[in-house]
């Protein structure tokens, strides 16, 4: 789908297994920025290269035009096809330093952050050729200067990318969707990052990995709703912990899911791990 001149969104569906008999339908958005060379933002899950390459051909470009693949972070749905894309195109793979070790070693990622079915979502580790940091600018030609913003919270090295001239922001998973699965490393860092994005400049189009494109007034609304959601979760976690101090992590997660009215799929170890991040900080602050 063409979002704006030279900017394209690809919605890639996939399944994650949730136990032996259940699977969860999900999707992830990858983006193409077509200047003189092409920048691919995230690779999608394993096998997504076919969709991406076919799309490029349909708009009169070639897979080899991809000069750089920016991985906004290391999660499986963002890096699954990275290795295959690098092998097919010879592109540079770029990411933040804090994501490098998990991108270059998916076994390490799986040990430190188990995700069911990881091996079917990621087709191998890939080397990070270029480390990106806050303030970098990727010049793609034809007026596409992409500014790099470090927006941690969802993960330590999450990146957002801004085309200031075109007023298009790629926020990856940094702006949480209210009512969906809250998955992050650090609730307060998420809040700081959304505020950073909110005030970075004039944004006409917001392109998230887990939501359809937002335009005009929808952009700030999405960010404000995300901030309210983050605050709500933080409050719910502390409420549950005060009321049931002996509750284990999954029991706490169950109560937060109930209070926030989240879908049943939110009762899972990844969400529980996200919620626990609020408590670790609280313990540090209250010796």
Positions touching Zn ion (CB under 5 A) are 75, 173
Number of alpha carbons in the 13 Å side-chain half-sphere of residue 129? 11
Query: CB of residue 172 vs Zn ion: minimum separation in angstroms?
Result: 7
- Which residue of this chain has its Cβ atom nearest to Zn ion in the complex? 75
Instruction: Please tell me the distance from the alpha carbon of residue 136 to that of residue 159, in angstroms, as a whole number.
Output: 11
CA distances from 203 to 15, 102, 108, 148, 165 (A): 32, 31, 37, 15, 10
As measured in angstroms, the least distance from the Cβ of 43 to Zn ion is 13
Q: What is the DSSP letter of 46?
A: T
CB closer to Zn ion, 61 vs 156: 156
Q: 65 or 173: whose CB is closer to Zn ion?
A: 173
| Shortest CB 286 distance to Zn ion, Å | 30
Q: What one-character-per-residue DSSP string does 10-40 give?
A: EEEEEEEE-SSS-EEEEEEEEEEEESSSEEE
Q: Find the shortest distance in angstroms from Cβ 214 to Zn ion.
A: 18
CB of 16 to Zn ion, least distance (A): 12
Q: Residue 75 or residue 86: which is nearer to Zn ion going by CB? A: 75
Question: What is the enclosing helix (H) or strand (E) of 140?
Answer: none
Judged by beta carbon, residue 140 or residue 222, the one nearer Zn ion is: 222
Q: Which is nearer to Zn ion, 157 or 213 (CB)?
A: 157
Map residue 3 onto helix, strand or coil.
Answer: strand
How far is it, in rounded angstroms, from Cα 81 to Cα 58?
A: 20
């Amino acid at each position: 789908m063409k979002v704006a001149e030279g900017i394209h969104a690809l919605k890639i569906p996939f399944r994650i297994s949730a136990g032996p008999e259940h699977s969860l339908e999900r999707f992830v958005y990858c983006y193409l920025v077509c200047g003189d060379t092409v920048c691919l933002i995230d690779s999608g899950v394993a096998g997504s290269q076919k969709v991406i390459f076919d799309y490029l051909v349909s708009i009169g470009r070639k897979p080899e035009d991809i000069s750089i693949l920016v991985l906004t972070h290391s999660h499986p749905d963002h890096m699954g096809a990275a290795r295959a894309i690098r092998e097919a195109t010879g592109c540079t793979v770029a990411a933040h330093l804090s994501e490098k070790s998990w991108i270059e070693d998916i076994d390490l990622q799986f040990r430190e952050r188990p995700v069911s079915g990881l091996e079917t979502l990621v087709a191998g580790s890939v080397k990070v050729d270029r480390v990106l940091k806050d303030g970098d600018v990727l010049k793609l030609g034809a007026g596409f200067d992409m500014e790099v913003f470090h927006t941690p919270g969802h993960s330590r090295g999450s990146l957002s990318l801004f085309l200031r001239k075109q007023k298009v922001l790629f926020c990856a998973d940094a702006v949480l969707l209210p009512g969906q699965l809250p998955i992050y490393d650090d609730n307060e860092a998420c809040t700081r990052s959304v505020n950073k994005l909110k005030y970075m400049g004039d944004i006409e189009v917001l392109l998230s990995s887990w939501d359809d494109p937002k335009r005009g007034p929808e952009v700030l609304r999405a960010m404000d709703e995300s901030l309210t959601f983050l605050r709500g979760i933080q409050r719910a976690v502390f409420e549950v912990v005060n009321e049931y101090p002996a509750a284990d992590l999954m029991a706490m997660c169950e109560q937060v899911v109930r209070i926030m009215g989240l879908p049943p799929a939110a009762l899972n170890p990844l969400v529980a791990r996200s919620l626990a991040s609020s408590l670790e900080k609280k313990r540090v602050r209250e010796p």
